[in-house]
Structures are given as structure tokens and as C-alpha cells.
Structure 1
């Protein structure tokens, strides 16, 4: 990777993760290991050659490693301990980025991993009654374990049998429930959402993710003036 001939920690960090797509590859691995084909699916705009190059660079920087996972001995990529240290950095970038205007050419659809990370990042119990619970979230072949504990929401790619609630839906539906405040009842009527187990837990999860203070930020007067000057 290219360096900046600058001893500042920011410059040294960007020398390892500043190339295009590098941090998004890390994002795709925050919730658990992925095969190369799954990384391609999560990053539809990246070419196979560029993804291979970024993975090699991240492996060389000891941020990503490749290993085989039982029982099928499938080869997949996962973050190292050093790579996992980037999680709070990426979550702060995600929060900051919600205030960046979407261009006309940008699709409003979030990828599955980006959506789950937005869910965890936006979640705040606030004044809601404390509720600890385990939720299974299923999108076709992508299954996530969501754990609500001590007013926080944690997520990882996993399948469990003893969840308090199970949500079966699509990424587009969940995005509409969280960002566009579509109602659970409407999603269920249309067949886009199925809830089994404790329904109150699911309602609590969505309510605490909608009203986080991050929903569709309105530009400040200063930001509007800057945009007008441009």
C-alpha cells in the first residue's frame, strides 16, 4: 500500500487502510467470516481483481486472515484481532456518514451487513424499559444473532435455536421498518415480515433503532449555505 512519508498516526493508518474499498472489505467482515464469493455479493461494485488485491494487502497488514472452517473445510476470510480494532472506527464513520447527502446516482438500498451494522449503531434504549433478549434475524441464507443486553444491541453472523424472537424478512423490508418507519403490521399483511416468539421484543428492537436521533438528518443552516455556495 502507498505511504505518505508522514509519521503521524493518521497517515500511517491510511497507509494500510486508505485504499479504495479497503475499509468496506473490513466492514463486510465485522459480523463474522465470509467466503470470497460472499464478499463479492456484499460489495457489488468491486471487481474480482480489486477484491483479491485488497484482501492480499489486508492480509499483509495483519488485518485479515484466510483459513478453513469446519465441518465443510470451506475457505473464508476473517478479521484478526488487529482488524477487529477497526470496528469502533468504522462505526463512528458510519454515524458521521449518515449526515453526508445521498447523491442522485446512489441507490438507497443498504447491503445486508451494512444494514445490520446500522441497526446496532442506531440502537439506543433511551428511556425505554430495560429489556435483555436474544433475537434471530433471517434474510434468506444470511442469519444473524442479535443480543440486546444492558441497553446495547450486539450482532454477529450465527444461527441459534433458543432465541426469544425470530424475524424472517428481506433487507429492503427491514430498511423500510427502521429508516422509513413502515409499520410492522403493514409488513406482516404484505407477507414481507414474519415474527415468531416474543413480539414485544421485536417491537422494542425496532422502536429503539428508529428513534436514535440519527434518522435522516436535516442539514444545518451552515450546511445549506455551504451547498448554496457550491
Structure 2
């Protein structure tokens, strides 16, 4: 076992990797070795809906310094979780995206978020990124309420656009222009959170520049009903 551990550590060292080790064979322990560094899971979360530029990641993670972001990207790439690519012309921009194995971490992001949202100390009014609010909808949709529905909605946050397709009791969200949307929501991620999870009507959010809704009024009224926050610990019954 010691020989195997030494070999494994040497392999990581040759890649410039500095991995925190717990010397525990449990998969949970190794999961924390892979994603437990400060900000690592946030970086993975922000890449769940497609590759992004360094500046995009910095913009949506304002508490993360450029130096720490650089280090996390290096580590996550060395671990096979993310990869660097260059967009084709005319963009010719380097972006960071998840590997196929990296995308499998979505269940961790979703279930950790669902579990932690039950904490009485969780504050839903804190800042949230566009990708995070999109993932929250994938996590908190109540399948029974969406059963039999089939429609497309769009979301715009500045230059960032998403398309949400509710069908078969699920919502599929992709990062693209929602050209076929029956309703479009434009504004901020906190504004969308107040509408979807706080059930605040867009008419009350629009004057403050938080969220504007356009399109089918019936769909705009229906949409937030499809989602439900988990019950806080101690509030059951």
C-alpha cells in the first residue's frame, strides 16, 4: 500500500499538482481531495452550463482573487476535471470547460445545495450568480407540478442568455439565445431568485431593475409554482 501511495503522489507531483491528502481509502475522502480546496467547487459549478473565459469566472465569483482562481484552474486541470480549449475564429479566446467526468459532478453540486438549503442559517438573499440560479431551478423543480407541461422560457443577464425547456416533468437548461421562448425574463440573478423561489411578481421587481418579464402572462404566473425550496430543519410538520 505504501508503494502504491508513493507512486500515486509522484505522478501528481510531476503534473505540478499540490493535492491535500487525508490518507483515507473512502471515496468521500478522495472527493474532498479533488474538490475540497477553497473555491474549487464554485469553479466547477460555474462551468456546469458550458465553457467560460477566465474573466467570466472572475466576474461571477467576485470574492475570488485572480491568483487563487488561476491556482484552482491549474489544479482542476491536473486532476482531469476541467480542460482548456480555444474558441474558433473570430473569437480565438481561451476558455475553460469541464471534461465529461467533470460534468458528472453536477449531482454533487445539486444535492449539496439542496441539503444545505435546509439549514436555518442559509440566507437566500445573499448574492448569487446566473449559472447558480439556473442550476437551482434544475435542482428544485417539483416533477409532479411540471408533469404534462411542454414549453420554453428564456433568461437574459446582460450578454449571458439561457434557454429553459420544461418537458416530461424536468427542466433542461442550455446556454444559448432563447429564440423560441414563450416568455423571457431579463435582469439579474437575485431578481430571478426572488421571482422563482420567493414568488415575488416581476411587476414588483421591475422598478428596481431586478427582473422584467415579457411574453405569455399565464406562463409567467405559472412558472414559479413549479419550484419549491426544501423545508428548513426544525420546521417540518
TM-score range, shorter chain: 0.7 to 0.9
Provide the residue aligned with 1:91 in structure 2: 110
Extract unaligned runs of 5+ from structure 2.
1-18
Selected match of 2:56 from 30, 38, 45: 38
Contact 2:163–2:173 (8 Å) recurs in 1: yes
Provide the residue aligned with 2:163 in structure 1: 145
Extract unaligned runs of 5+ from structure 1.
223-230
Provide the residue aligned with 1:81 in structure 2: 100
TM-score normalised per structure 1:
0.84
**Cα root mean square deviation, aligned:** 2.4
Selected match of 2:233 from 212, 216, 219: 219
Provide the residue aligned with 1:130 in structure 2: 148
Tell me the CA shift for residue 179 of structure 1. Answer: 2.9
In structure 2, what is the Cα distance between the partners aligned to 1:20 and 1:192? 30
Provide the residue aligned with 1:200 in structure 2: 218
| Matched positions, count | 217
Provide the residue aligned with 2:45 in structure 1: 27
**Farther-moved stretch of structure 1 (56-65 vs 112-121):** 112-121
In structure 2, what is the Cα distance between the partners aligned to 1:58 and 1:52? 10
Give secondary structure in 2 for the equivalent of 1:100: coil
Provide the residue aligned with 1:18 in structure 2: 36
Provide the residue aligned with 1:181 in structure 2: 199
Provide the residue aligned with 1:156 in structure 2: 174
Provide the residue aligned with 2:78 in structure 1: 60
Give secondary structure in 1 for the equivalent of 2:121: coil
**Cα deviations across residues 111-131 of structure 1 (Å, max 9, x unaligned)?**
221111112211114245621
TM-score normalised per structure 2:
0.82
